[in-house]
Copies of this chain bind each other. A is one copy, B any other.
Amino acid sequence: MSTNGTNGVTGNAPESNTARPAHRFDPDFTENVIKAMGHNVTPRNRQVFGSLIRHLHDFTREVELTIDEWMAAVHFVNSVGQISTKTRNEAHRISDILGLESLVDEIAHKIISEGDIDPTSSSILGPFWSPNAPFRELGGSIIQDGVPPGGQVALMHGVIRDMTTNQPIPNAVFDIWQASANGKYDFQDPENQSDNNLRGKFRANEKGEYWFYCLHPTAYSLPTDGPSFKLLNLMDRHPMRPAHIHIMVTHPEFQGCTTQLYPKDDPWLATDTVFAVKPDLILDFKPKTDDPKATLDLEYNVYLAPKGYKGKQLP
């Protein structure tokens, strides 16, 4: 480890510091904390921690954070880990309500088409995807345990296409998971749901088509007994997510798309508490009268980018 840093005692200005900061505090403090990193830091860690320290200090000086506020934040951070368990990840939830997961997802997946069709927008994975969802037959149903009280059945169907050619992608895999009408996923709700209820994978046919039965999704609240709800209250925000269906569409020759789809009339659409709604992810459920198994019809077409496709490179 390095012992060559300084922390302001020597009074040397950092070499890279050409302008004085516009505040009344020690102008070398932040540079000195960053320079305390030793020689053996990876270049990426040096970049990430340097930027993190600079923004943390700039935030602190900008609002002149008080000692009481800092101490409240210290207690808050400890409380986040203390309520977390194997099946509850409160730090994940805190980052979601601050928009962080949606932002990281955009950074990882944003592609702007060079042609007329953009690929389907990605959205956050969330904590409820399962690698164990079974393949089901086209035309089958993910409603394994029967229609729950209040549930409405939809025939969901569409075509999976290459966004550069508009041609179908045969054999693309359409993986879907959703909460039941009580707002709970199978492994949150073992009393009412069997494993893999409301989950399934479907392999598109030679025309890139998929179709199956699922539920109209239901809006639900984030947990209201922990630090994330406390933070929402401090910001005068509600804990609701709009109703949504999770999908993950993959094919070996294409960039996979993990996203969420939302009914267009959901009351929480404009204020999703995790900021995961995008315009092309909004669904139009229509009445269906020609099918005894479903009262709703839902068409949704997916556009994937080929592997290696970068799209327009904006600055």
Chain A residues proximal to chain B, CB less than 8 Å? 1-11, 22-26, 29-30, 32-33, 36-41, 45, 47-49, 51-53, 55-67, 69-70, 73-75, 77-84, 89-92, 94-95, 98-108, 110, 112, 232-238, 267-273, 275, 277-279, 282, 314-315
Closest Cβ of chain B to A258, distance in Å, is 10
Query: Which residues of chain B are near A267, meaning CB under 8 Å?
Result: 3
Name, among A4, A77, A108, A277, the residue most crowded by chain B CB atoms within 10 Å (CB to CB): A77
The answer to whether A61 and B103 touch across the interface, beta carbons within 8 angstroms, is yes
* Given A32-B275, A82-B81, A74:B48 Cβ within 8 A: no
The answer to whether B25 and A108 touch across the interface, beta carbons within 8 angstroms, is no
The answer to whether B66 and A55 touch across the interface, beta carbons within 8 angstroms, is no
Name, among A75, A80, A103, A105, the residue most crowded by chain B CB atoms within 10 Å (CB to CB): A103
A10 and B277 CA atoms in complex are apart in Å by: 10
Q: List 6 A-B contacts (CB under 8 A).
A: A9-B269, A9-B270, A33-B275, A55-B62, A77-B80, A80-B81
The answer to whether B55 and A55 touch across the interface, beta carbons within 8 angstroms, is yes
* Given A62-B51, A237-B38, A270:B70 Cβ within 8 A: no
| A50 closest partner in B (C-beta) | B63
A272 and B3 CA atoms in complex are apart in Å by: 9
A273 and B32 CA atoms in complex are apart in Å by: 11
The answer to whether A1 and B236 touch across the interface, beta carbons within 8 angstroms, is yes
Query: Which residues of chain B are near A38, meaning CB under 8 Å?
Result: 235-237
The answer to whether A67 and B275 touch across the interface, beta carbons within 8 angstroms, is no
Closest Cβ of chain B to A265, distance in Å, is 13
Closest Cβ of chain B to A229, distance in Å, is 11
The answer to whether B30 and A99 touch across the interface, beta carbons within 8 angstroms, is yes
The answer to whether A47 and B63 touch across the interface, beta carbons within 8 angstroms, is yes
Query: Which residues of chain B are near A269, meaning CB under 8 Å?
Result: 9
| A109 closest partner in B (C-beta) | B67
A105 and B268 CA atoms in complex are apart in Å by: 42
Closest Cβ of chain B to A216, distance in Å, is 20
The answer to whether B41 and A236 touch across the interface, beta carbons within 8 angstroms, is yes
A86 and B100 CA atoms in complex are apart in Å by: 30
A176 and B47 CA atoms in complex are apart in Å by: 40
The answer to whether A277 and B81 touch across the interface, beta carbons within 8 angstroms, is no
Closest Cβ of chain B to A157, distance in Å, is 25
